[in-house]
Structures are given as structure tokens and as C-alpha cells.
Structure 1
Amino acid sequence: MIKSILAYSLLVLGLPLITAWLASYLPNALVEKIWPIERISAVYYMAKSSLEGLIAILCAYLLFKLLQVEITIWIPVLVCTVSTLWRLVQNEGFMVVFINIGILVGYKLFPHLQVFFNQW
């Protein structure tokens, strides 16, 4: 009971999203140093947001695996909700679609990745 409360509260606080943002911060900083902001395509930001969503959902699943809490459908729902609120507060409403696409792709890939890692 305590572990599940801790795991879900970390989801609501946005720990997987912060982890994903930190993981993509260095590559993003390098790209922005090499090319000026005006030359970077919007497609890059769309792909970066999708990758952040993928990393966020995989971090959320890893958190639940480490705490040994049952993985349910509420994990991607909460991560999508928190990511939507986070992007809307940052005035990046257009990127909500792409980060949620990344989260849903991670949700669909997780069973396959879990089988792969269990064989490892």
C-alpha cells in the first residue's frame, strides 16, 4: 500500500517527465549550440517531444518495477495528464500531441521490451 502510494505520487509530481527532460537536455543543448534557433526545424522539436514521452513512460514503468508495484493502465493516463498540464503551463500546447504520442508508443512497446529484458 505504501509503495503504491509512493509510486503514484511520484508520477503525479512528474518524476518521469523530469527524468526524460534531463535525459534530452544535453543533446538539445548541443543541437542549439551548433545551429541557430531559427534554422532548427519544427520537426526536430516534434521528434524531441515524442522521444521525451517515450523516455518518460519507460522511466515510469521502471519506477513501478523497482518498487514492485503492479503496472496498470493508470500509469500512461497519469503521465499523459501530467505531461499535458506541464506543456500547457510552458505555452507549448502544440507539443502536447507529440509528447502524448511518445507516451502511447512507449505504452505499446513496453510488453515487447519487457520480454526482451527478461531474456537478457
Structure 2
Amino acid sequence: MTEVANIEQQIVNNKNKTNVRCQFCNSLMLKAQEGSYCQQEIDVPLMMQKQDRGADALNTETLSHFWMIADMMTFENIGFSHTVDGRKFLVCADCERGPVGYHEISSKRCYLALERVVHKDD
């Protein structure tokens, strides 16, 4: 199954069909129907950084599929990093793995990357 087909299965009426959970500890981050699907290309730091990078260098990947959450209080369980270039990165509040997305300081919106979480109701 292609990535696009996988993503389409998670969307109903432009919202997340199922609960969104941490891929590492299964902690509930976002309940079903709470995030709005959006597409945009953003460079997000890799979850696992290479050891041989320079002190100030971050290895990133471009992500393009997100759940947009207008109010940070909508989350069930999420943590925020310190501010970097007008953004705070989102992490699992239980296991602190991430980033799983980012919080845009200027708009106060959060973007949870579909590629960095799992979608399941149990």
C-alpha cells in the first residue's frame, strides 16, 4: 500500500478518523476527530540524530502530511521543546520521544506529523 493510500485511510471529513498515539509507548496524544488534515512541506529534525554531526547542526527530513490543531489544549498528552526559530517541537509527554510535529508560535497552531505517530483506537 502506498503512503498516500495509507494517509487517505486515516482521514474522514478532513479530520483524523482514529485516535493518534505515540509510536513508541502507545500514549494517547489526540482523540479522533480533533485534528484537521493539512499538507505543507516543513523540515523537522530527525527523531534519531547522527552522532557525527556538528555541535549546531541538526539532521532533518521534510514532512508534508499533518494534523493541524488550532488549540494546544486539545491534545490529550503532548510535550513542547524550547523555542527554535519561532517554533516549539512537539514530543510525547510520557516517553519524551520526538519530535512528532511542531507548534508555530505566531499562529499558536500545532502540527502533528502523520508519519511520526500511529493511528489506532485501542
- TM-score, normalized by the shorter chain, greater than 0.5: no
Between structures 1 and 2, the one with greater strand share: 2
Specify the TM-score bucket, using the shorter chain as the normaliser.
under 0.3
Between structures 1 and 2, the one with greater helix share: 1
Greater relative contact order (Cα < 8 A, sep 6+): 1
TM-score normalised to the size of structure 2? 0.27
